[in-house]
Each structure stands twice: as structure tokens, then as C-alpha cells.
Structure 1
Amino acid sequence: MRKNLWVILSLVSVALLLSGCTEFNKPISAESTGFWNEFIVWPLVSIIKYFADLLGSYGLGIIVVTIIIRLAILPLTIKQVKSSKKMQEIQPKMKELQQKYASKDAITQQKYQQEMMTLMQTAGVNPLAGCLPILIQMPILIGIYHAISRMDATGPEVFNLGTFIIFPLADTSIVLAVIAGLMQYVVLMTGPAMDNPQMKVMMYIMPLMIVGFGAVVPAALSLYWVVGNIVSVVQNLLIYKPWNRNKEAATIGGAKK
């Protein structure tokens, strides 16, 4: 089931990426046509520019827009957390079903899938809940990438991204890329990955991917990742309360002794 969800997620991501690739590096303006330009890229450009004009810096504009986006998807994130916790609660029953239907023949596996779905429905677990925040963020992330890249292109609208602290936002920045990768690691450390052995691989792969992408994209996008990950860390600390998890582990360890 999870494999199918990730396949669907990958296909959606590729489709979204390709939908904007045809006009990559072309100037963006209010006159740009097409669904991608009119409803994703240009609105993001307009919002970033609004806050940049208000605050006097495109860097600050990107920070504010990033926070707004993360707060907007917060209800989905909370829903994902609740579903993840319920999934952890039914793990023992899921293992029992796996042992009960260990045979790999088609009839047995069909019964296994039916009972698994019944178990999830009874517990109120939605397997798609974990993908929703990612699905929502994917077009936004790609839109931000196109917006930033095309804002720097020559066209009817002139955007000077300038610098944030010491980082030219239109150029690549290894430093910001590394910070974004480190923050991604902290996000995973404070989230559900620590309790899920299958997700622990992501703790090492995703930060490296972020650093790799950040090394070749404009620093403005790395800044978006840094700020977004900082917001995610704060959310994880408030929602998951990892210090309680550490206390529980210590208590269990003491009881075993």
C-alpha cells in the first residue's frame, strides 16, 4: 500500500515539474498566460514582491511568504500527526495480521488487505494523510523555484532580488544549502522518523538531497528551505514533544533493568 502511494506521489511530482518546464527561465509578468503562470507562479511572485516592497528586502519577503505557506498547511500537518500516532497505536495488531496471513498466495493476501483496511478504518487511520502536506507543498515548491528563477530573467517586469545578509539571492550558495540540509535533519530528528525504522533512512537521504539541490539552485530557494525547516522544527517540538518521547524511553529502559 505504501509503495503504491509513493509511486502515485512520484508521478504527481514529475507531472507538476514537467508542467512548468516548458517556460523555465522565461520572464514572468502579469501578462503571462497559461494555468501554471496565472495561478501558481505569478501569484507567488506577486506575494513575494508585495512583502519585499513592504519590508524593503526580497529576502524578508521570501521569509514571510514561507511562514504564511507553512501556517496555511498547518491543519494538514496536524491531521498527518494524528494519523501517524494512530498508525503507531495499531502497529501490534498490524503485525498480528502479517503473521496470521503470512502465506503469499493471492487469496490469503486478499484477505490480509481486507482485514488491514478494516483495521485502519476502525482506528480512523487514513493512509493518504501522510502524503497530503507533501502533495500540497510540491506545486508550491516548484512554483517558488520557477518564480525565483524567472523573476531574475529579463522581461517586462524588473525584479532585483538583491542580497540577504551576505548571500546574493539570485546566485547559488553552498552555505545556505548546507544550513538547509542540516535543518532538514533536525526536522526529521524531532518528527516521527525517530519512532519509525522505515523512515530513519530518510534522515540521511533527504538532507543530502536538499544540499545537492541547494548547491545548484538560486540561494533564494535555499532560504525558502531554511525558513520552512525552521518552522517545521517548531511545529514538531509543539506537536510531537520529543522530550516526552525521551522520558518514555528512559522509563521503559529503567523498567527492563
Structure 2
Amino acid sequence: MALQLPLKQALMTEVEGGAALAWRLLATLEGGSLLLVTSALLAYTARSKEAARHRIPVKNVLITNNTSTLGQEITKRLIARGCTVSTVTSTATSEAISVKADALVVIGAEMKESGLDGITQLITEDVYYNVKLLESLSPLVRTGGCVAWACAGAAGGDFSGATSAYDAVLKASLQHIARNQHCEPIWTDRCEDCEVAAERMVASLLPCADPQSITTFSLRNAVRKLSEYIGRWLKIVS
């Protein structure tokens, strides 16, 4: 029995969300729908594999500030995960970099004051220093690497909207510069706690599991599940 269009769309949505969900739906389908599910699953796996190839493993990291609380936390966590971390604070110090890095982490200005004074401080430090540093240092990252912006400290009350709007501009600048260098932009959103901000950044740079190994496992598991389903279906129809 052919799938109705709404059910097809729902199925494709579930497959896009993850291969495991597709196999739960598979148990409710008749044999004529097997080809549709298999094709969607293989397309999902192929796209995941292609995306994994474009993201290179992060082992060698450049960071623009290792003296601030956030910079120190990120540096400490990266080293603990086996990364080599080098500090590049200006275009002049970048001349000593002979091998391109896997990632660049720009440490944004930390809001130390509240209200309008805090917003003014962020704009002064980020726009007149950090954004320019991001643009000048991004060519030091290998194709397929990561260009990231880490920031901590947030304005509350009447100025929270201004902070969000300002961050949207920073994020757009990061994405534009990273894509020009054929790198992946990483923006983890601003939070008040430096340790939380550092944890988010390191988790984005260094996923807990290798995407390639996850893809391989999913495909192998899919083949096994498919064999089991076909076996059960043949017993039913024979």
C-alpha cells in the first residue's frame, strides 16, 4: 500500500532528525514502503558523511586572549583535551605562526559594568579591536577548520535587548568572515558565567565523539536492522 503524501512528509522529517527514528517507523510500514525508507536513510547517511569530511579534527588552536577569565578557562579545557593552544594577540605576533591552525577562538570583551557603560565598553573593545583581530587572523586557519567567538557577561534589565542586538551583529560578522575562509563559524551565545561559556565553546570545538565513527556505526546498524526486518517480512508473506 502506497504511503499518502502527509505520511511521506512526516517520514522524511523523522529521518532527517536521525536514522534511529526511521527504524521505529519502519516496523509499521508494509513491504512496498521499504524502498522509500531505505532511500531516505541512505541519503541522510551520505549527507552526514559529507558534512563530517568538511569539518577537520581540531588539535591545534589559536586563541586571542589567555589572560582573561574566559580565555584561561577555554585554554585550560582545550589543553586537558589534548589540544595545542597558541596565543596570538595581534597581527604582528601572527607572523610567527608557520603552520595553519585547525581553529581560531576570538575572546570577546567581557562586560564588567552594567547598563549603558557596559554596552559602550563592549562596542569599544570588540568593534575597534576584536572584530579587526578576527578578520586579520582568520587566514591562519586551515580550510575546513573552525573560526569561533567566545563571550561572557550579559547586560540585564532595560539593556538586555541592546546586548542581544549587538551580539547579532557580531555573529553575522563571524559567519561572514568564516565562510570567506571556507571555515565553520562557531557562536555559542553569551552567558554570564565564564565556566559555562568555556564549556560550551570547547564542546562545540571538540565533540565528544568523532562524527565519522558515528556515521559508520549508524550505517552498519542500519544494515543489520534492515536484514532483520526483511527476514521477518519474508516469514509473514511466505
Fold shared by both chains (TM-score > 0.5): no
* Structure with the largest fraction of helix: 1
- Look at both structures and tell me which one has the larger radius of gyration over its CA atoms: 2
Give the structure, 1 or 2, with the largest relative contact order (CA under 8 Å, sep 6 or more).
Answer: 1
